[in-house]
């Protein structure tokens, strides 16, 4: 992993924390990094966080937000690459 990849993952993770008010566990941070290494940009992850907040409001649980973020990232992957994510 490059410094740029790590920095982009940190930006996406910070966005999640700042906008949901929920902390990411280490395995969730690692999953974000994995998703981004597979071709999803930080801006796509941020869009997924926004979608999660829109869906669950400001009172959602960490699990609600996290599952929605992953679902939205999968949707983005399919739009970009037209196949299931690795």
Q: How many residues does the chain have?
A: 86
Separation between Cα atoms, residue 55 and residue 64, nearest integer Å: 9
- Reading the block at residue 50, the tokens are 């926004």
Give yes or no for residue 86 having a pLDDT over 90. Answer: no
Please give the distance of CA 59 from its chain centroid, rounded to a whole number. 18
Note if the pTM is more than 0.85: yes
Task: Give the pair of three-digit tokens for residue 30.
Answer: 């690692």
Whether residue 84 is predicted with pLDDT greater than 70 in this model: the reply is: no
Q: Which residues are CB-neighbours of 61 under 8 A, at least 6 positions away?
A: 22
What is the structure's pLDDT at 58? 85
Q: Where are the domains of the chain?
A: 3-81
Residue 52's CB is within 10 A of a number of other CB atoms, namely: 23
State pLDDT tens for residues 42-73: 999 999 999 999 999 988 899 999 999 999 99
């Amino acid at each position: 992993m490059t410094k740029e990849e790590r920095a982009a993952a940190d930006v996406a993770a910070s966005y999640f924390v700042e906008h949901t008010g929920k902390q990411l566990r280490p395995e969730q941070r690692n999953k974000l990094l994995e998703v981004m290494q597979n071709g999803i940009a930080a801006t796509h992850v941020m869009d997924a966080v926004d979608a999660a907040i829109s869906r669950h409001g400001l009172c959602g649980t960490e699990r609600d937000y996290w599952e929605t973020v992953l679902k939205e990232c999968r949707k983005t992957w399919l739009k970009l690459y037209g196949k299931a994510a690795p």
